[in-house]
């Protein structure tokens, strides 16, 4: 097996830290960069020519990418080269590709429930593998602040949230539902869906959407939302329908959480999403999109409370946002998620809320207890550095693949 790792860089926000980790661990890597939008994830002649050329010109031991690309798997299968995909998006419909059964695949999925579902579909080498934090992020923040005295003041705030509100084109369920009598769903299905969404909003730690959808209704929702993946994919319409409902649950949960908090405390919202009418108040500042590399670390470090409101399409896993916040020695207040509770000590390394009243109560408490809040932030930072550092995580992935080859 060759020693060089080929990284496919398509524009994932975490690629720079992965590449740096591979350099530190292995002494180098090679890259194929192509951030053009794919029209067909199974057929892309210019990309295939580039990748095959690089495989033949170099001694490549494995190809790695964030998320999963069926065409890369097809090429690696033919050339008997391992393809490592580290999954951090959920849902990710390329994982419904029938190519996931290829023996070359090594799929490292951040969500345990999702990983189990992939294994059931026939993914041979599929691992539940949480994401990672970046060891140099805090040092980067401190370096930036030391060179610019105004940065700390610019990003200082009581409560911040960085993320999507899921209230525009991405939310297919809203488009399918439409106005009363004008949507693509029957009145019965619309009513049933509304009941499910309201129920899920009251439940933390268990996703009830998939199991609560009758098969025919799931098909109606999937059709109304325009989900059609083609013959190259497994058609899990029930899961796609559940994901559409999950996005709407996430939109409502984020709007309610931000609304409740901003009625009591100053909140800064960093998002490119349109601001709902309910959030137009004097305590909430919409700051617009924040650059992930240049601004987000400063936000996380200087916010007294950083919110994590996990998308309901993530059933059990820890989103990258949490690792990023803690890597900046930021204090994180997050919704309950089973894997978060398994990996981090609540009240010691992170703080977990279990409903909206709990969220407001804990925000008020930790804004008033500075020393306790800062100690939790330091403990969370240490936990990530000791157990979830990107260099060590990348080494574990490479070692696992090399042992199998």
Go through the domains of the chain in sequence order and give each one's CATH number. 4-132+389-404 (3.40.50.2300), 137-387 (3.40.50.2000)
**Residues 19-40: tens digit of each pLDDT:** 999 999 888 899 999 888 899 9
Please check the confidence at residue 78 and state whether its pLDDT lies above 80: yes
Ranking 21-25, 44-48, 301-305 by mean pLDDT, the lowest is: 21-25
Asked whether the predicted pLDDT for residue 181 surpasses 50, the reply is no
Q: What is the pLDDT of residues 247-262, one digit of tens each?
A: 999 999 999 999 999 9
Mean pLDDT of 169-183: 73
Give the tens place of pLDDT for each residue, 351-396. 999 999 999 999 999 999 999 999 999 999 999 999 999 999 999 9
140 vs 297: CA distance, rounded Å:
8
Host H or E run for residue 286: strand 284-286
Residue 169's pLDDT is 76
**65 within 8 A of 41, measured Cβ to Cβ:** no
Q: What is the DSSP letter of 350?
A: B
The β-bridge partners of 303 are 157
Is the confidence at residue 179, as pLDDT, over 70?
Answer: no
| Residue 183: per-residue pLDDT | 73
DSSP 8-50: EESS-TTHHHHHHHHHHHHS--EEEE--SPPS-TT--HHHHHH
pLDDT at 178: 65
pLDDT > 70: what percent of the chain?
98
Write down the pLDDT at residue 147: 73
pLDDT at 180 over 80: no
């Amino acid at each position: 097996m060759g020693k060089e790792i080929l990284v496919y860089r398509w524009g994932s926000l975490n690629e720079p830290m992965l590449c740096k980790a591979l350099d530190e661990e292995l002494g180098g890597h090679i890259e194929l960069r192509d951030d053009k939008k794919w029209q067909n994830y199974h057929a892309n002649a210019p990309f295939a020519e580039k990748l095959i050329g690089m495989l033949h010109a170099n001694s490549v031991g494995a190809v790695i990418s964030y998320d999963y690309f069926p065409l890369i798997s097809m090429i690696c299968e033919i050339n008997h080269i391992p393809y490592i995909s580290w999954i951090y998006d959920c849902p990710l419909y390329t994982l419904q590709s029938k190519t996931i059964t290829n023996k070359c695949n090594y799929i490292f999925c951040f969500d345990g429930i999702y990983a189990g579902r992939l294994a059931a579909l026939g993914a041979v080498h599929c691992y539940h593998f949480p994401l990672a934090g970046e060891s140099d992020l805090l040092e980067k923040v401190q370096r930036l602040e030391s060179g610019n005295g105004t940065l700390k003041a610019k990003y200082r705030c009581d409560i911040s949230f960085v993320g999507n509100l899921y209230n525009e084109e991405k939310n297919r369920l809203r488009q399918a539902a439409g106005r009363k009598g004008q949507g693509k769903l029957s009145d019965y299905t619309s009513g049933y869906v509304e009941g499910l969404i309201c129920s899920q909003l009251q439940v933390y730690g268990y996703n009830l959407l998939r199991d609560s959808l009758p098969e025919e209704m799931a098909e109606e929702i999937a059709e109304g939302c325009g989900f059609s993946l083609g013959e190259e994919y497994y058609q899990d319409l029930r899961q796609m329908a559940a994901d559409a409902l999950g996005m709407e649950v996430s939109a409502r949960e984020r709007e309610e959480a931000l609304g409740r908090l901003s009625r009591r405390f100053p909140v800064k919202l960093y998002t490119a999403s349109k601001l709902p009418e309910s959030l137009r108040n004097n305590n909430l500042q919409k700051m617009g999109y924040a650059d992930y590399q240049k601004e987000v670390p400063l936000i996380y470090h200087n916010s007294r409370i950083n919110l994590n409101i996990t998308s309901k399409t993530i059933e059990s896993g820890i989103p990258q946002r949490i690792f990023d916040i803690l890597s900046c020695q930021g204090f994180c207040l997050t919704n309950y998620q089973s894997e978060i509770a398994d990996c981090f000590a609540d009240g010691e390394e992170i703080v977990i809320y279990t409903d909206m009243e709990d969220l407001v109560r804990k925000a008020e408490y930790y804004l008033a207890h500075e020393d306790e809040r800062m100690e939790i932030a330091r403990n969370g930072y240490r936990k990530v550095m000791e157990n979830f550092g990107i260099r060590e995580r990348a080494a574990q992935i490479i070692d696992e693949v090399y042992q199998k080859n």
